Structure 1
């Protein structure tokens, strides 16, 4: 009975040497492709899947998180300026460890006053109170669905003993609207009244609100220029700008392509109102249709009068 034996290495090399050059190249390429495929699959299998750990972090909190991850030897990736990712199987573990360290801290609020030391000066106490109030307002405004981030700056004047020198507080609100979202006039008005009702003696006219593009959503009356625009006028201004942008893109798009044109329009509308009083008199173009402004009349008469006769004092007189 014949026994089949495996060909020796020398025999295999001899068989390979008998192949043509094209066959040798094809065989080498096939082997290299198989090795690369298996190597890539192995590396892909070994590479961890990253998941979002935190988003919308401030620069200070983002730096603290990255330093903590480096200390814990946890690999991470960053996307943009406010997204940090870690391996999927370590997300919850890392969050618990960072929370134990008080990271991220977020905006300060009234919890800042909990750690205030005894014996601080009145100035430091007032500054801490203002920082805490700004932080609480920021947290509340960021809870609005369309707001990705917010900053609140308060200008609270010192109280004066003279009534004529009393000044009202003012506030500036910066909004970062994510995903191209916009706030309608009712939402902007709600934020304005929220800030006004949270700060004593702060009128709504002293509050300015802008977005991340520098667009003025509502301005204080003291700002001048467009400061007096109410939400309705601002919305009308945006409608005009959007309409002009669409018209420009519609005209240019057929020439350069729909994806090759971008237009931006800044409209400056005059919402000033004037009141005039005029009194006009009709000219006397036609004598028969003369407009009479005033009319005077007098009556006169003449004739002999009847003289009185009889005994003075009698009834006949």
Structure 2
């Protein structure tokens, strides 16, 4: 007794015999195109879309990030200039996980913000992005000091840079998270203020304040010291 599949096969075979050569070729080509299209769609949908996790990391910080990625069995790729890429849907979760472990030491976005071209954005957005990048790069540099676990830099520029009014000067604030039982010497505080001032046009070192995670204004004791010669 023939089953339904056998009957279907007989019917298809009969139809195939009735087709001419050109019709058979067209049917085979159409079938191949459909199968190839479906295979391509499946391959494309399964492809991992990678996005930038961190950029401009030094070898030591990149190694720490990779250790965490390996522990969580997260696929990753490494790129030029110390960049690490991970699946796009995991970027924010991984950044939170890494931040909770103090990795990387430098906080904030750096000049990798310009890695992707942004056509058509306004000059204001360009300036804002540049300011964010400078703040991020300064924070990363300051975080390299032995006593510091992390840092954040905030820069305020006057709206009109042509004005020389003392009330409209550029200013900067640096927040540093010290390592347990660590103290930041006055020379290091002066170095931080000097570093920030020289990275920002029109900013004088005595207009850079430094505060630690205990609420101490570290720059307060340096106002009358050698910082005056750094401005």
TM-score normalised over the length of structure 2 = 0.52
Is the CA contact 1:218–1:230 (under 8 Å) kept in the aligned structure 2? no
Counterpart in the other structure of 2:152? 151
Quickly say closer, same or farther: Cα 1:165–1:203, change in 2 above 3 A: closer
Q: What is the Cα deviation at residue 111 of structure 1?
A: 1.1
Secondary structure in 1 matching 2:75: helix
Structure 1 CA distance for aligned equivalents of residues 116 and 206 of structure 2: 35
Counterpart in the other structure of 1:108? 109
Counterpart in the other structure of 2:130? 129
Quickly say closer, same or farther: Cα 1:227–1:134, change in 2 above 3 A: same
Q: What is the Cα deviation at residue 92 of structure 1?
A: 3.1
Summarize the alignment of residues 144-223 of structure 1 with structure 2, pairs less than 5 Å apart.
144-161=145-162, 167-219=168-220
Is the CA contact 1:192–1:207 (under 8 Å) kept in the aligned structure 2? yes
Summarize the alignment of residues 1-317 of structure 1 with structure 2, pairs less than 5 Å apart.
92=70, 94=72, 97=75, 99-101=84-86, 103=91, 104=94, 107-161=108-162, 167-219=168-220, 228=223, 230=225
Structure 1 CA distance for aligned equivalents of residues 160 and 191 of structure 2: 28
Structure 2 CA distance for aligned equivalents of residues 210 and 231 of structure 1: 18
Structure 1 CA distance for aligned equivalents of residues 190 and 166 of structure 2: 29
Aligned structure 1 segments of 4 or more residues deviating by more than 6 angstroms: none
Quickly say closer, same or farther: Cα 1:96–1:199, change in 2 above 3 A: same
Instruction: Report the number of matched residues.
Output: 139
Q: What is the Cα deviation at residue 91 of structure 1?
A: 6.7
Structure (1 or 2) with the greater helix fraction = 2
Bigger shift: residues 163-172 or 115-124:
163-172
Quickly say closer, same or farther: Cα 1:229–1:162, change in 2 above 3 A: closer
Secondary structure in 1 matching 2:203: coil
Quickly say closer, same or farther: Cα 1:177–1:157, change in 2 above 3 A: same
Secondary structure in 2 matching 1:101: strand
**Whose Rg is larger?**
1
Is the CA contact 2:174–2:209 (under 8 Å) kept in the aligned structure 1? yes
Q: What is the Cα deviation at residue 133 of structure 1?
A: 0.7
Deviation by residue 1:155-182 (Cα, 9 ceiling, x = unmatched): 0112355566894311000000011100
Q: Unmatched 5+ residue regions in structure 2?
A: 1-52, 54-66, 77-83, 96-106
Counterpart in the other structure of 2:22? none
Quickly say closer, same or farther: Cα 1:212–1:133, change in 2 above 3 A: same
Higher relative contact order (CA 8 A, sep 6+): 2
Is the CA contact 1:159–1:166 (under 8 Å) kept in the aligned structure 2? no
Is the CA contact 2:110–2:132 (under 8 Å) kept in the aligned structure 1? yes
Pairwise CA RMSD:
3.2
Secondary structure in 2 matching 1:190: helix
Structure 1 CA distance for aligned equivalents of residues 213 and 205 of structure 2: 21
Is the CA contact 2:148–2:176 (under 8 Å) kept in the aligned structure 1? yes
Counterpart in the other structure of 1:74? none
